[in-house]
Structures are given as C-alpha cells and as structure tokens.
Amino acid sequence: MSPKRIIAISPPARFIVSLFEVIYSPVTMSPIYIAKEEVVQCLPMKKCIALMEEAFTALVHGQIIQPLRSLMWLPGKKGLLGMMPAYSANKKVMGIKVISAFSGNRESGLPSHQGVVLLFESIHGQLLSMVDADEITAIRTAAVSGLATKLLARDIPSNLAILGSGTQAAQHVEAMLCVRKINCIKLWSRDHANAEELAGQIRKKHNVLTIAVADGKEAITGADIICTTTASVTPVLLGEWIKKGAHINAVGSCTPVTRELDTVAIVMAKLYTDKYESLYNESGDFIIPKKEGAIADDHVKGELGEVLTGQKKGRENDDEITLFKSLGIAIEDIYAANYVYQMISQKNITDYTV
C-alpha cells in the first residue's frame, strides 16, 4: 500500500485517520517494501517476545491457520526453497514467507537464509507489504526461545551456553538477556575464530563476561540455559553433559534427518515445542529417537501456547531438564511482519498532517 493518502477535509476541521481505515479500505493499494534496516529499527527483541506470546496464545485458541511448511530441495541438497503460509483471524492478515537456505553461503560472505515475507490483508486479499525476511527470521526465532526460557527455565541468575557463532547465536544472547539475569556466557563453534569474534562483540555490547571455549562439553558444563543454534546434521549436545535443572532451546535443526541433540538428551528432557504437527513431521531431534524406539509421541509435554494458557504444565521442580524444540512456524513471521508494517505505516500516516 502507499502509506500516505491525501484525504480531502474542509478546513479548519482536523481528523485523526485510523490505521485500520487506511489498511482495510476497499481502495486498491500499492504494497510497500520494508528493508532489513527498517525491521531492526521497528522490532526490538523485548517487543518481539511479547508479540510471540500473543501469537502462541492465539494459536492455541484456534484463531490461527498454520499449515506445515513446504520444502523444495535443489539437486544434491545444496540448498532449498521453503514456503511457509499462515493466517491470523484476530489480526485480519495472512501471508507467506518464501525463504532460501544455503548452508554453504558463509564461504561466499552471504547469509545462509534469504527471503521475503509477503503480507496480505484478509478482508479483500490485497498485498500490503513485502518484508525482508532475514531480520524477521533472526529476531522472531530468538524471541520465541526467549518466551520458552521465560516460561520453562528456573528464574535464577544463570550461566548461558551457546553452541554456534552465527546470526542466531548473537540473537539468542539478546533474547536470553531480555528474560533472565546472565552471569556468564560460554560460546562454542566449530569455527573457533568466529566464536572469538562474537564473544568480543557480546562483551562490548552487553558488558557480560563472555568466553569462546574449545569444545562443546566445556561450554555446556555448568550451564543453566543452553541454546543450540548450529547447522550441524549430527548431535553437538550430548545428554551426559547436561546438568539437572537446565533449560535447553534447540533451534538449528528443522528437517527429519538432522539433529543437534543426541537421543540421551531427548529422553532425559521434558520436551515442549511450538506446534505438535511440526515436531512430529519435521524434527529430526524428535523423529530419530522415536524411530529408535526411545520415545513416543506422548514424550512431548505441550506447546508453548498450552503452557501460556495453563492447559499444560511447564517446569514443576528445580531438577527437571526442560527442552524447547523450535521448528519455526509461519505465524511467528506474520505477527512480526504485521507489527513492523503497522509501525512503518503509522509513522508515515502521522508524518502527514491533515
């Protein structure tokens, strides 16, 4: 849509034009493109965590249509194109994220994930906006982990372990600092130089003791909160390393044949997810142990929305190991993109004085 519309009003009368009227007018709209810089400006992590709480509550209350994602793999599995649609009845919007994933892009200096969120209003089906998906994905993924940590981790000053050193590693530090007091951060990555660089950035930005360590076990030992944000296809987190009372956010794997946690870690943890259907069909962290006969479908204790609304119990004691397996669902993108769109539109509307 064109965010500025001139409305003829006889002077000296002045009226406040509501954003709803602008968005949902039957007048044909011209969609706007929102770049990643604007997404960062309009979507701070704390706000995104609140948006994700709202989204998961709406999901469990039946206000969301959320199909499984569709993946098209390229020959040789060198990359894929993912298509992720969703509809929100309460926000009166629908949309789809179309995103490419090329794990080898780091060597070319490009992001591993690139794409766009197409946002439509759901009254007339008009395209409102095309939003750069890189920052939307980065922020909302970590924000959901922040929400899970807020719900499931012990509310104590915590030691944080991050496995991985990419965009999600940095964003997860931001999200964890929003919901818990962090005493120390240990980073591990197969690329130790990247981990060292990220540790320096975190120390400078957040003034928190941050150390890049030589192996995953060293990072995990003594950690109260663990975030796995790697592109690994085989386990990087072993159950024998995890202490009682820890909380884990497992983020990096989202296909049936890849996983970041070994079977022992899955079996010993109290497991939660964003959506049952996604977990059962897309998560190698769940599917592989199930095929081994180590767990069944009832091993998952609930969705985040069910914990939020009290339909399912979260952590029940300080010794439990809780695990949030994040698959990333499209309604997260739609809520985040819609909020950014409204902020951009509101700014442009208020910039114009009737």
Kindly report the CATH number assigned to the domain that includes residue 324: 3.40.50.720
Give pLDDT, residue 27: 57
Which residue is listed with tokens 């399912």? Answer: 312
> Is residue 13 in some structural domain?
no
**Confidence grade of residue 109 (pLDDT, cut at 50, 70, 90):** confident
> Is residue 144 in some structural domain?
no
State the average pLDDT over residues 264-277: 97
Candidates 157, 108, 153, 128; CA nearest to 314 is 153
Look up the CATH number of the domain holding residue 112: 3.30.1780.10
Give pLDDT, residue 1: 41
How many CA atoms within 13 Å lie on the side-chain side of 203? 12
State the average pLDDT over residues 75-85: 92
> Is residue 270 in some structural domain?
yes
State the average pLDDT over residues 203-212: 96
In the numeric block, which tokens belong to residue 232? 């690994």
Whether residue 158 sits in one domain with residue 292 = yes
Round the average pLDDT of the chain to a whole number and report it.
89
Whether residue 318 sits in one domain with residue 169 = yes
Residue 113 has pLDDT above 90, yes or no: no
Residue 8 has pLDDT above 70, yes or no: no
Whether residue 182 sits in one domain with residue 91 = no
Whether residue 211 sits in one domain with residue 84 = no
Task: Say how many C-beta atoms besides its own lie within 10 A of residue 128's C-beta.
Answer: 24
Biggest CA pair distance of the chain: 75
d(Cα 312, Cα 308) in Å, to the nearest integer?
8
Give pLDDT, residue 4: 39
Give pLDDT, residue 26: 53
Instruction: Quote the domain boundaries for residue 108.
Output: 19-136+332-351
d(Cα 168, Cα 1) in Å, to the nearest integer?
31
Overall number of domains in the chain: 2
Whether residue 319 sits in one domain with residue 183 = yes
